[in-house]
Amino acid sequence: MTTSDLTTRFCHAIQVFWDTRREQQRKQAITGRVDAGMRGAVTGGAQMAALELLVVEILRQVGLRELDIRTKRELELPGYYRPEKKWDLLVIAQGTLVCAIEFKSQVGPSFGNNFNNRVEEAIGSALDLWTAYREGLLGMHPRPFLGYFFLLEDCDKVHRPVRNEEPYFQVDPAFKNASYAKRYEAFCRRLLRERLYDAVCLTLATNELNTRVSHPAADLTFERFILELQASVMRFLAGH
């Protein structure tokens, strides 16, 4: 798959995300089963299905068997601080955990509390998995690939400076009056820097019939995410 093809397919997958949300909202409005707030747009699931399928296709092109790639069922891995955690995409080949990937999103209008929730969730999931790996709960195999994909709605609100609450100590300068977009960028970059994840993608996209997709940082693009994933899988295949 060429870089141009990858970009086209990726943008299409993001468009499917928004189209699926709108269709779920429409159906829930018709049936009268609208959840509180905007939750009705996400409880139907399937928004990330096109993106998952794209990643599956890329993994197959690298040389993995489709049987080894899981996106629908049998997605649980043991944890250290909890019995198990369900991931969004797993590759289990020859009894070895090759990779685990999370696909997450954040859509308005509420960004504040949800930002904190996403941060705690991502850090906790990675720490739990790596501790379980250290303790041998994932088998005695080479370190797996751990990936984190995040889609943030691109709107005016995510680009406005956000005031920090500092009653006792000043916040890290990276977050000083930073917008939610900048907060997510710093967060994602630090996930990489601290080696909690092997690849992280931060994507911004407008909620429109013709979505506009962008990557705010060169080290957090989908192309780079895929290159890291491919390299990790090829190393595994070369050793087996």
Q: Residue 17: inside a domain, yes or no?
A: no
The confidence score (pLDDT) of residue 34 equals 52
Strands 199-205 and 145-153: parallel
Q: pLDDT tens digits, residue range 166-189?
A: 999 999 999 999 999 999 999 999
pLDDT digits (tens, 9 = 90+) for 31-44: 776 554 444 444 44
Distance between CA 64 and CA 62 in Å, rounded? 6
pLDDT in tens, 97-112: 999 999 999 998 888 7
Q: At 33, which amino acid appears? A: R
The mean pLDDT value for 9-34 works out to 88
Q: SS3 letters for 96-163?
A: EEEEEEEEEEECCCCCHHHHHHHHHHHHHHHHHHHHHHHCCCCCCCCCCEEEEEEEEECCHHHHCCCC
> Which pLDDT does position 36 carry in this prediction?
47
Residue 54 lies in a domain: yes
Verdict on whether the full-model pTM lies above 0.85: yes
pLDDT, position 35:
53
User: Is 19 part of a structural domain of the chain?
Assistant: no
Characterize 112-151 residue by residue with b for buried, 16 or more Cβ atoms within 10 angstroms of its Cβ, and e for exposed. eeebeebbeebbebbebbbebbeeeebeeeeebbbbbbbb
Per-residue pLDDT of 184-239, as tens digits, reads 999 999 999 999 999 999 999 999 999 999 999 999 999 999 999 999 999 999 98
Cα gap 26→99, rounded to integer Å: 36
* pLDDT tens, residue by residue, 50-72: 999 999 999 999 999 999 999 99
The pLDDT tens digits for 144-169 are: 999 999 999 999 999 999 999 999 99
Q: Sign (positive/negative) of CA torsion 207, 210, 211, 212?
A: negative
- In a domain, residue 7? The reply is no
> Does residue 195 come out as left (phi exceeding 0), alpha (psi in the -120 to 50 range) or beta?
left
Place of tokens 């290159």: 227
The answer to whether residue 9 sits within a structural domain is no
Task: Work out the widest C-alpha separation in the chain, in whole angstroms.
Answer: 56
Question: How many domains does one find in the chain?
Answer: 1
| 160 within a domain of the structure (yes/no) | yes
pLDDT at 113: 79
The domain in which residue 60 lies consists of: 49-238
| pLDDT tens profile 105-134 | 999 888 877 999 999 999 999 999 999 999
Query: Could you give the CA distance from residue 1 to residue 18 in angstroms, rounded to a whole number?
Result: 24
Q: Which pLDDT score, from 0 to 100, does residue 33 have?
A: 63
Residue 33 lies in a domain: no
State the Cα–Cα distance between residues 146 and 206, nearest whole angstrom: 27
8 in a domain, yes or no?
no
Element (H, E) at 79: none
C-alpha span between 46 and 17 (Å, rounded): 8
Specify the pLDDT at position 218.
97
